[in-house]
Amino acid sequence: MKIKIIKTRQEKIECLEACSQEGLALLFSYDQDPKGLFENADSVQRIEANKYLVSPPYSFEKLNPWLHFGNWQAIYPENTEYGSFNAFKSSETEIEEFMKAHSIDVIIDSFYDDTEWKVAWNDCE
């Protein structure tokens, strides 16, 4: 497992671009409704209150108008049972245990105001 804090716009662009290129449908937990920000209605699906599945292709530019407030989390693969998890307040061991317990391969956790993302992913080696 690898964990990284990303802060720059370029790092965020690269993170989401890599996820999209890998074909990862990300499940976002976020209290902001996307409100028609997506041209293709098939690219975002409301799963339940505050949970949205975003299917590739997607990009930072496409998602940023929705996500720029921060305080959201995205995971792959989709698992609506995982509940809330604060990666910023968790140790690497706690993150790894959480991911294993919920069969999650990727977590992208956005800090309040979207200043930083904490990204954790399982190696695909």
Candidates 120, 72, 124, 114; CA nearest to 99 is 120
Q: Residues in the chain with pLDDT < 70?
A: 36-42, 124-125
**Tens digit of pLDDT for each residue in 18-31?**
999 999 999 999 99
Domains contained in the chain, number: 1
Distance CA 104, CA 7 (A): 23
DSSP-assigned beta bridge partners for residue 75: 27, 107
Candidates 3, 1, 2, 5; CA nearest to 111 is 5
Residue 124: predicted pLDDT: 57
CA angle 41-78-97, nearest 5°? 155
Residue 20: predicted pLDDT: 96
Residue 52: count of CB within 10 angstroms of its CB: 21
Residue 125: predicted pLDDT: 44
| Full residue range of the structural domain in which residue 33 is found | 2-121
Q: Please name the residues in contact with 15: beta carbons below 8 A apart, sequence gap of 6 or more.
A: 6, 60, 108, 117, 119
Distance CA 42, CA 107 (A): 23
